[in-house]
Amino acid sequence: MANGSVAEVRDALADVGYLADERAALVSYLARELGKPVLVEGPAGVGKTELAKALARATGRELVRLQCYEGLDESKAMYEWNYRKQLLRIQAGGAERGWENVQDDIFSSDFLLARPLMQAIASEDPVVLLIDEIDKTDQEFEAMLLELLSDFQITIPELGQVSATTMPIVVLTSNDSRELTEALKRRCLYLWLDYPELERELEIVRLHAPELAETLARRLVEVIRMVRDLDLKKPPSIAESIDWARTLLLMGAEDIDRETFEQSLSVLVKHRTDIDLVAERVGVKLAGPSAPAAG
Ligand SMILES: Nc1ncnc2c1ncn2[C@@H]1O[C@H](COP(=O)(O)OP(=O)(O)OP(=O)(O)O)[C@@H](O)[C@H]1O
Ligand SMILES: [Mg+2]
């Protein structure tokens, strides 16, 4: 993915198995050209994480991933002092060299344990940094990220600043489970990923399950869209479409009739109440092999 147009970025992503729409390709292109982080939001399973992975593959860069969770802090995300090594160093010869020397020594980079954010900044080769599910952390953690996101640097009180020598491509993802701060949003390009258009989803399904006949794949995507139109707790995402396609292949299904649908329903929806609703509203619309002929 050399310097190129949006279309080239889209093609480069397609070459590594990610079918981006126009907006996703544009934002990916801008991220690189403007050197700005991208915040990707959207429902579960629409390809947020995969976009970052695909960018890494397309650019031949290493993917450095920080999986966020509640309670994640600096020591797990950025860096930590290697206390054990520091202690050994002090024991191994503090007295004769003087405390000043030892102190300078033990707060040098040799005694630092780099966590993902520091690894991405300090890397000699440019990387793709994925900060996955940022909405799982708290606002303090977001505040801590601001310096990194705007200046690509990390300040360590005892050491000073560590600045990126190679520009990482930074992708943050969020499931929108809480509103992110304005300060964070301001520093990022924004991409809302949603369930794809029918034709794109068909392409994605065919890419992941190439053995599935085109007509069956099309039918699958149509039925998925009917299911999404219902008011479900958790509508099926692209991930479920792909799983369903593979399931139909394993079942040797030739059509999506009522029986096939009901047998494989739990691949699509994963809440008891959703299953009942879908069986009732969509299942009955499908012709069953044993369905009484209409009329
Ligand atoms: N545009 C696409 N092209 C090809 N495959 C895709 C695309 N979008 C999604 N997928 C596939 O869909 C699946 C789900 O994607 P992914 O894990 O990135 O979702 P997500 O948005 O990160 O979900 P979550 O919020 O649950 O983490 C993956 O297997 C991925 O390969
Ligand atoms: Mg994800």
Res. 144: pLDDT tops 90: yes
Tell me: pLDDT of 83 over 80: yes
Assign residue 263 a region: left if phi > 0, alpha if psi is -120 to 50, beta otherwise? alpha
Q: Which ligand approaches the C-alpha of residue 50 most closely?
A: 1
Q: Is the pLDDT of residue 79 over 70?
A: yes
Nearest-ligand number for the alpha carbon of 242: 1
Q: What is the pLDDT of residues 221-236, one digit of tens each?
A: 999 999 999 999 999 9
CA of 154 to the centre of ligand 1 (A): 31
Give the pLDDT mean for 142-166.
93
What's the mean pLDDT in 144-154? 94
Quick one: pLDDT at residue 94? 59
Residue 163 confidence (pLDDT) above 90: yes
- Whether 5 has a pLDDT exceeding 50, the answer reads yes
**pLDDT for 184-212, tens place per residue?**
999 999 999 999 999 999 999 999 999 99
The pLDDT of residue 125 is: 96
pLDDT at 151 over 60: yes
Nearest ligand to the CA of 234 is 1
Q: Which residue has the higher pLDDT, 294 or 40?
A: 40
pLDDT per residue as tens digits for the range 125-135: 999 999 999 99
Alpha helices in 126-181 (DSSP H): 139-151
Q: How many CB atoms lie within 10 A of CB 70?
A: 8
Please check whether residue 164 is in contact with residue 156, taking contact to mean a CB–CB distance below 8 angstroms: no
- Rounded CA gap, 47 and 63, in Å? 16
For residue 294, name the pLDDT band (cuts at 50, 70, 90).
very low
Residues with CB under 6 A from ligand 1: 17-20, 44-50, 173, 175, 204, 207, 238-239, 242
**Is the pLDDT at 167 greater than 60, yes or no?**
yes
pLDDT at 291 over 70: no
Average pLDDT value over all residues in the chain: 92
Measured in Å, residue 15 CA sits from the centre of ligand 1 at: 16
Of 28, 50, 63, the one to substitute when testing ligand 1's pocket (max ligand atoms within 8 A of C-beta) is 50
Distance 277 CA to ligand 2 centre (A): 27
169-205 in b/e form (b: 16+ CB < 10 A) is bbbbbbbeeeebeeebeebbbebebebbeeeebbbbb
Of ligand 1's atoms, which has the minimum distance to the CA of residue 21?
1
Instruction: Evaluate if residue 44 carries a pLDDT over 50.
Output: yes
Is residue 213 scored above 90 in pLDDT? yes
Atom number of ligand 1 nearest to Cα 46: 21
> Are 215 and 67 contacting, i.e. CB atoms less than 8 angstroms apart?
no
**Averaged over 98-121, what is the pLDDT?**
89
Q: Measuring from atom 8 of ligand 1, which residue has the nearest CA?
A: 47
CA nearest ligand 1 atom 10, residue? 47
pLDDT, average across residues 37-59: 97
pLDDT of residue 295: 40
Is the pLDDT at 216 greater than 80, yes or no? Answer: yes
Residues 229-283: tens digit of each pLDDT = 999 999 999 999 999 999 999 999 999 999 999 999 999 999 999 999 998 888 8
Q: Determine the atom of ligand 1 nearest the C-alpha atom of 193.
A: 21
**Distance (Å, rounded) from C-alpha 169 to C-alpha 55?**
9
- Let me know: does 47 contact 124? Beta carbons within 8 Å: no
Closest ligand 1 atom to residue 50 Cα is 18
